[in-house]
Amino acid sequence: MSSPPPPSYSPSTYGSGSSNWNSGSYDNCVQQCVAQYGTPSSMYMPPSMTSSSGSSGSGMTHTVIVAPTQGVLRYVPFALNASVGDTIKFMWGANNHTVTKSSELTPCNKTSDQPFASGEQNQSFVFTQVVNDTNTTFYYCGTPTHCQKGMFGIINPPNAYNQPSSASIMMPSLAGQYPSTQAGMSYSTNVTSSQPAAAAWGDNIDMSGVPQWAQSYTAENILFTRAFAGMNPDTIKPDGSIDLSALGSNPLMVPTDVAAAARSNDADSSNSTSSGYPAASSAASSAPQPSASAVGASSSGGSTSGAGALSSPRVAVALVAVVAAFFAL
């Protein structure tokens, strides 16, 4: 007796806009993928300290994770507010990273103004710094190419509540220009849908003094921290700030860096100029820097930074490529 023929099937295709999601559009494919599955995430396990350096103050301690997992070029949280005498505790979650003081105008260049630098360190290293003033302080990873890919952070970011230069107002425009920012917004909106404080985190950060090349990276850093807070709601306080000081040995979920993956995919298909991404530069326009708190949720009670549906085929292609790397539709 002959065997029955194998069942027929229609495989999903990528790049053509077709799928088995009962829809022919990239938008629905991506949104349904993320809505049904989320995107794969990893875990951050607070490591046992192997070595440390730096100084400690008499005030509060604020914890920053340096690259929560290998390959994720982020500081978490991206920005924080601290008072004089507080201690910033940087904890390495992956290998080959630094914490080096820079400036807003040149976020990827070491500053000579009261500098600090950890040197390149590996997982489990801890570096501490005492806050001596409440001026805005930028820092970055000095490992080659890491800062140029967005690995920088801010202590006491400038505030622009309800101003055109605030992150909440600039974000939609940046998302319209950069597929990676739009991808990050869509992902962040999904994972913070039930966490309004996380969804509004960083709304008031003033981006007016950030160099043009770094503005989309700043937005994507904010979005990654929002996603992190959305996946770890116990880390966000009622005032909207993120508190990692009591991590202990509890594991944390690390969101997928969708924006970085989309940016990498776009770079593979075209160079930075033709793809719309400005090249890293030290040039920037100067702007006033108010010193008020900027990293919590908007005091107006509502966030204007939520992402809408994917709006352009190019954005959709970028995010579909990311999703396709993780899922078999």
Domains of the chain: 43-178+193-255+273-305 (2.60.40.420)
Q: Give DSSP secondary structure letters for 182-243.
A: HHHHHHHHHHTTT-HHHHTTTTTBB-TTS-HHHHHHHHHHHHHHHHHHHH-GGGB-TTS-B-
Strand-by-strand arrangement of the 75-76 sheet: 51-54, 125-130, 87-92, 61-66, 75-76
User: Would you state the pLDDT for residue 15?
Assistant: 27
pLDDT at 245: 76
Burial class (CB in 10 A: 0-12, 13-18, 19+), 276: middle
Give residue-wise pLDDT tens across range 90-105.
999 999 999 999 999 9
Per-residue pLDDT at 302 exceeds 90:
no
- Asked whether the predicted pLDDT for residue 17 surpasses 90, the reply is no
Highest mean pLDDT among 24-33, 183-192, 296-305: 183-192
> H-helix or E-strand containing 323?
helix 313-326
Taking only the tens place, the pLDDT of each residue in 205-219 is 999 999 999 999 999
Judge whether residue 128 has pLDDT over 50: yes
- SS3 at position 149: helix
Roughly how many angstroms between the first and final C-alpha of the chain, as a whole number?
A: 35
Least confident piece of the model among 11-15, 137-141, 158-162, 276-280: 11-15
Instruction: Judge contact between 226 and 183, C-beta under 8 A.
Output: no
Query: Is residue 20 very low, low, confident or very high in pLDDT (cuts 50, 70, 90)?
Result: very low
Predicted pLDDT at 114? 84
> Which residues are registered as beta bridge partners of 128?
54, 89
**Among 96, 189, 186, 195, residue whose Cα is nearest residue 146:** 96
Q: Look at 165 and 295; give whichever has higher pLDDT.
A: 165
- Range from 71-75, 200-204, 221-225, 247-251 carrying the lowest mean pLDDT: 247-251
Average pLDDT over residues 214-228: 98
Among the ranges given (84-93, 228-237, 254-263, 282-291), the one the predictor scored with the smallest mean pLDDT: 282-291
* pLDDT given for residue 251 in this prediction: 87
> Above 70 in pLDDT, residue 252?
yes
Q: How far is CA 226 from CA 57, 59, 147, 238, 276, in A?
A: 28, 26, 20, 15, 25
Distance CA 43, CA 46 (A): 10
pLDDT at position 246 is 67
* 16, pLDDT greater than 60: no
Burial of 323 per CB tally in 10 Å (0-12, 13-18, 19+):
buried
- Residue where the block lists tokens 């992150």: 167
**pLDDT tier at 256 (50, 70, 90 boundaries)?**
very high
